[in-house]
């Protein structure tokens, strides 16, 4: 996706050295140097090795975003606009990036050479893997288009072509490069680590969601991020097809995106020989030490702290935590976990004391144990106003709203520690914080308090915001006491606070004293019926039956000698991940976004 401010990149100036000129402009004539010579247009096939039917499957995505004001959660910010790229796959489906449609209100797509923007419907969003699935309800939109096939994981030095709609112009853009690296990489949008393909082809603002193609015209990944120019040059990343296929299969199986799996463990490498001997390992054995089991994970039933993990699904784990990936390649063993789906079982071989055991348990969704959410799934964030005391749930978007994009360096250390390392001790646990205090007679002396965690209400530990609202509503004592972090104490009279709350809401134009999440509430894009998913799956099957013939016919018309795209292949590699990352770290990664 590309975002730029009005008047920055994109304007074309004339009359100066280096001005943009038409390809048909001829300066050789002194008699009439200003007269352009128009030459006959050449076909796409003569200008590019990409045939027209491939370029026609790549779309420009126009999104309108309306982001909540997390600091004043009863308000919305001014709407913004962005453009990005996307492409058609089988079953009348469109793939793009999740950050391209984040907080969307309207999404429209436009085909190459068309002047019409057509409204698209968001079917599913995978924030973790930064992929969004769209469709257009009008089937005529997909007429005369050929869906791209998803290829397998590329090899190092394979040539790739990135196609999309980046800044610098309005028409489609094509850049080329090679595969530089294949490894686990942090996803800037999802704040997680998954398999990624690094390429040296230019990925600029606006390329987000566009395909990366191999020599067989198969899509081998989705462009989604790059390193900033301050960090390195020509370092771009694409989401590889193993991750894309996992996302698509997940949506088809469950009717919505459920996410990638977590093993529910933290581990330590065993590269020290003395440590291995202390743990009772044989000289031929390798593995990693389990230093922590996540409290809500299914692993708690079979694993213990200080167990040694020797094998996962029959794959021997090295002392550095890696397993065999491809020939002469190793990768972190968590990629085996990310290959599975939520609810799948995994088989492990462990060493406990001097006993070797085979155990099995079900895998959970990777974000199920995260104490502080990376993304807010509700249109309106949760909040509660009690006598001018504004309580909210701690999330990463809230920290960004309060402290800016450099919140990792500006926010209080205790809150950052909750974000990066906090894990739930029980289901539905939330970090409730006093965001700020609305100044009123009843809150005099408290107005300087802000961004402090609420620990207890009247000596009762607060589990989540809904729990706090219930405690406040049912309390009948004289004084309400709010115990905050750093031993701060706020006390208000119960009757006075209830009388003044309505007055404060009216004075500050706050529509309600609360917005509390219900357990059964899900985000708008998660409300997808299984019938809709089956319908898309059936369309996919029908499209696959005719895709090969269509591709072959169009390839002949374009006089191409390359192989025709094959049907969707099994990925050679598997979706990997490392240990739970320090969430929130961006390390120079940026979305390729532009704002028209």
Q: What does 135-175 look like in DSSP terms, one character per residue?
A: E-S-GGGGTT--PPPB--PPPTT-EEEEEE--TT-SS-EEE
Domain identity same for 412 and 473: yes
CB-based contacts of 53, cutoff 8 Å, min separation 6: 145, 146, 551, 554, 555, 558
Contact 125/522 with Cβ under 8 angstroms? no
Domain identity same for 431 and 476: yes
CATH code of the domain covering residue 341: 2.30.42.10
Decide if 526 is inside a domain. Answer: no
Domain identity same for 453 and 498: yes
Domain identity same for 361 and 442: no
Domain identity same for 457 and 402: yes
Decide if 21 is inside a domain. Answer: no
Decide if 152 is inside a domain. Answer: no
Decide if 527 is inside a domain. Answer: no
CA distances to 259, 378, 457, 484, 505 from 386, in Å:
36, 22, 12, 15, 10
CB-based contacts of 254, cutoff 8 Å, min separation 6: 342
Decide if 1 is inside a domain. Answer: no
Helix (H) or strand (E) holding 502: helix 494-507
CB atoms within 10 A of CB 23: 9
Q: What is the DSSP letter of 134?
A: E
- Please give the full DSSP string across 21-79, using - where no structure is assigned: --TT-----STTTTS--PPPPPPHHHH-SS-HHHHTTEEEEEEEE--B-SSSTTSBPPP
Domain identity same for 84 and 130: yes
Q: Which two tokens stand for residue 360?
A: 């099995």
Q: What is the per-residue pLDDT for 233?
A: 76
Domain identity same for 314 and 408: no
Domain identity same for 359 and 394: no
Q: Which residues pair with 590 in a beta bridge?
A: 226
Domain identity same for 289 and 352: yes
**Total domains present in the chain:** 4
Domain identity same for 557 and 449: no
Decide if 465 is inside a domain. Answer: yes
Q: Which residues pair with 392 in a beta bridge?
A: 383, 433
Domain span including residue 484:
383-515
Residues in the chain: 596
Beta strands in 233-339 (DSSP E): 236-240, 261-262, 265-269, 288-293, 308-312, 315-316, 322-324, 330-332
Domain identity same for 495 and 441: yes
Strands 131-135 and 93-96: antiparallel
Known catalytic residues? 99, 130, 208
CB atoms within 10 A of CB 327: 6
Domain identity same for 506 and 559: no
Report the interhelical angle of 530-557 vs 241-254 (nearest 10°).
140
| Sequential pLDDT tens for the chain (596 residues) | 544 333 333 333 333 333 333 333 333 334 343 344 343 444 444 445 789 999 999 999 999 999 999 999 999 999 999 999 999 999 999 999 999 999 999 999 999 999 999 999 999 999 999 999 999 999 999 998 999 999 999 999 999 999 999 988 899 999 999 999 998 888 989 878 899 999 998 888 899 999 999 999 999 999 999 887 677 778 899 999 999 999 999 999 999 999 999 999 999 999 999 999 999 999 999 999 999 999 999 999 999 999 999 999 999 999 999 999 988 899 999 899 999 999 999 999 999 998 999 999 999 888 788 899 998 888 899 999 999 999 999 999 999 999 999 999 999 999 999 999 999 999 999 999 999 999 999 999 999 999 999 999 999 999 999 999 999 999 999 999 999 999 999 999 999 999 999 999 999 999 999 998 764 444 444 444 444 444 544 555 555 555 545 544 544 444 433 333 333 333 333 333 333 334 444 445 666 656 55
Q: What is the per-residue pLDDT for 190?
A: 83
CATH code of the domain covering residue 396: 3.20.190.20
């Amino acid at each position: 996706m590309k975002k730029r401010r009005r008047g920055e990149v994109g304007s074309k100036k004339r009359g100066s050295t280096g001005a943009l000129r038409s390809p048909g402009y001829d300066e050789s004539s002194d008699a009439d140097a200003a007269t352009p010579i128009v030459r006959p247009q050449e076909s796409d096939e003569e200008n590019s090795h990409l045939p027209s039917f491939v370029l026609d499957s790549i779309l420009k995505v126009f999104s309108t975003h309306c982001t909540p004001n997390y600091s004043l959660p009863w308000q919305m910010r001014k709407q913004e606009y962005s453009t990005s790229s996307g492409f058609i796959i089988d079953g009348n489906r469109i793939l793009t990036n999740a950050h391209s449609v984040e907080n969307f209100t309207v999404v429209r797509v436009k085909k190459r050479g068309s002047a019409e923007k057509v409204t698209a419907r968001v079917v599913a969003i995978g924030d973790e893997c930064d992929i969004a699935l769209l469709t257009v309800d009008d089937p005529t939109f997909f007429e005369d288009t050929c869906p791209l096939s998803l290829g397998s994981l590329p090899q190092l030095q394979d040539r790739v072509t990135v196609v999309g709609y980046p800044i610098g112009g309005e028409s489609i853009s094509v850049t080329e490069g090679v595969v530089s690296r294949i490894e686990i990489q942090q996803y800037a949008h999802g704040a997680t680590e998954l398999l990624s393909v690094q390429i040296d082809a230019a990925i600029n603002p606006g390329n987000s969601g566009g395909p990366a193609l191999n020599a067989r015209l198969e899509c081998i990944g989705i462009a989604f991020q790059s390193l900033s120019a301050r960090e390195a040059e020509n370092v771009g990343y694409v989401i590889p097809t193993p991750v894309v296929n996992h996302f698509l299969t997940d949506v088809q199986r469950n009717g919505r995106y459920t996410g990638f799996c977590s093993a529910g463990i933290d581990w330590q490498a065993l590269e020290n020989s003395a440590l291995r001997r202390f743990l009772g390992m044989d000289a031929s054995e390798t593995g990693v030490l389990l230093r922590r089991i996540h409290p809500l994970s299914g692993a708690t039933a079979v694993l213990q702290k200080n167990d040694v993990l020797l094998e996962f699904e029959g794959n021997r784990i090295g002392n550095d935590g890696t397993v065999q990936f491809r020939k002469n390649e190793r990768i972190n063993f968590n990629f085996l976990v990310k290959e599975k789906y939520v609810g799948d079982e995994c088989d492990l071989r462990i060493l406990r004391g001097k006993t070797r055991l085979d155990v099995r348990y079900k895998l959970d969704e990777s974000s199920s144990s995260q104490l502080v959410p990376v993304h807010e799934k509700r249109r309106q964030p949760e909040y509660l106003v009690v006598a001018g005391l504004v309580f909210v749930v701690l999330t990463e978007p809230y920290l960004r709203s309060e402290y800016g994009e450099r919140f990792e360096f500006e926010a209080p250390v205790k809150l950052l520690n909750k974000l990066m390392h906090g894990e739930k001790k029980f289901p539905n646990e939330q970090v409730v914080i006093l965001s700020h205090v609305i100044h009123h007679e009843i809150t005099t002396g408290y107005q300087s308090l802000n961004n402090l965690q609420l620990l207890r209400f009247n000596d009762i530990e607060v589990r989540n915001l809904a729990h706090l609202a219930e405690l406040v509503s049912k309390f009948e004592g004289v004084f309400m006491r709010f115990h905050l972090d750093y031993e701060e104490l706020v006390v208000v009279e119960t009757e006075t606070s209830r009388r003044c709350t309505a007055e404060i809401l009216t004075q500050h134009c706050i529509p309600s004293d609360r917005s509390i999440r219900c357990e059964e509430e899900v985000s708008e894009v998660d409300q997808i019926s299984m019938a809709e998913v089956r319908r898309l799956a059936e369309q996919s099957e029908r499209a696959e039956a005719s895709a090969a013939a269509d591709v072959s016919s169009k390839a002949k018309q374009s006089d191409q000698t390359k192989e025709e795209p094959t049907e969707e292949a099994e990925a050679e590699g598997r979706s990997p991940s490392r240990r739970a990352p320090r969430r929130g770290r961006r390390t120079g990664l940026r979305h390729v976004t532009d704002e028209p």
